[in-house]
Amino acid sequence: MTTFVLVHGAWHGGWAWDRVAPLLADAGARVVAPDLTLGRDVGLSAHAEEVIAAIDQVSDGTTVLVGHSYGGLVVRQAADRRPERVAHIVLVDGWAGPDGVSMRTLIPSWFAADGDGWRLPAPIDGWRMPAPPPAVFGIEDVQDAAWLQQRLRPHSLRTFTEPTRLTGAVGEIPGSALYCRPPRLPFADMGERLGYRLVGIDGPHDVMLTDPARVSAEILAAAASVRD
């Protein structure tokens, strides 16, 4: 049996996969979608440790890590620590890069500072990054936007500033990079630099909410490629 560990992005929770997880389960997979911890001293390494704990709980079958947005950095660092346990990595519009990068260094300056993109907010109490509106994630449907707005939460500043630590072991694990079209941020370029299989999906950044069937199908296809 394949176990999919689904890791959400910044400001989200495990609920971000609520529309995808049942489709994967219906296909016969085991699904784990943890809520990453929120806290003043919580950063990328702490979140990677939480995913490592989820990996270590899988006792049989194949494990595939799926990371959305910021979750891309998390799953790659976790996989780097457990390369023998992870068969494939799937990025869904996921941030990724070499050892030493962070969200702060990866985010293009125009997006972080220009009103045409979205200005990163000042942290509350020195560490809580307020959640942006649903429109920033490309969610325009009124009902979906209301659903998302109710669930978005602050995110720890340290997750944006703490650099990823990779030994290079993750480079031996095959991967797929699902990127949303039309592209606004360089997720396809990141996946290409990693040598991942590129898959374009029409939809917004939070495409797992707007087109869970397509996202599920591509995640399953990635797992099937491990067996082929």
CA distance 202 to 89: 21
For residue 193 the two structure tokens come to 């630099």
Answer whether 205's CB lies under 8 Å from 13's CB: no
Q: How many CB atoms lie within 10 A of CB 95?
A: 26
For residue 48 the two structure tokens come to 């990677």
pLDDT value at residue 171: 97
Question: Over the stretch 78-127, which tens digit does the pLDDT of each residue have?
Answer: 999 999 999 999 999 999 999 999 998 998 776 655 444 556 677 888 89
175-188 mean pLDDT: 94
132-159 mean pLDDT: 95
Between residues 60 and 228, which one has the greater pLDDT? 60
Superfamily of chain region 2-227: Alpha/Beta hydrolase fold, catalytic domain (3.40.50.1820)
Q: What DSSP string runs through the chain? A: -EEEEEE--TT--GGGGTTTHHHHHHTT-EEE-------TT--HHHHHHHHHHHHHT--SSEEEEEEETTHHHHHHHHHHH-TTT--EEEEES----STT--HHHHS-HHHHH-TTS-PPPPPBTTTEEPPPPGGGGT--SHHHHHHHHHH---EETHHHHSPP---SGGGGS-EEEEEEES--SSHHHHHHHHTPEEEEEES-TTHHHH-HHHHHHHHHHHHHHHH-
For residue 175 the two structure tokens come to 């991967």
**C-alpha count within 13 angstroms, C-beta hemisphere, residue 6:** 25
How would you classify the pairing of strands 62-68 and 128-129?
A: unpaired
pLDDT value at residue 116: 47
pLDDT value at residue 115: 44
Integer-rounded Cα Rg, in Å, for the chain is 16
pTM for the predicted model, two decimal places: 0.95
5-9 mean pLDDT: 98
Model confidence band, residue 194 (pLDDT cutoffs 50, 70, 90)? very high
Chain CA centroid to CA 175, Å: 13
Question: Over the stretch 21-74, which tens digit does the pLDDT of each residue have?
Answer: 999 999 999 999 999 999 999 999 999 999 999 999 998 889 999 999 999 999
Answer whether 191's CB lies under 8 Å from 91's CB: yes
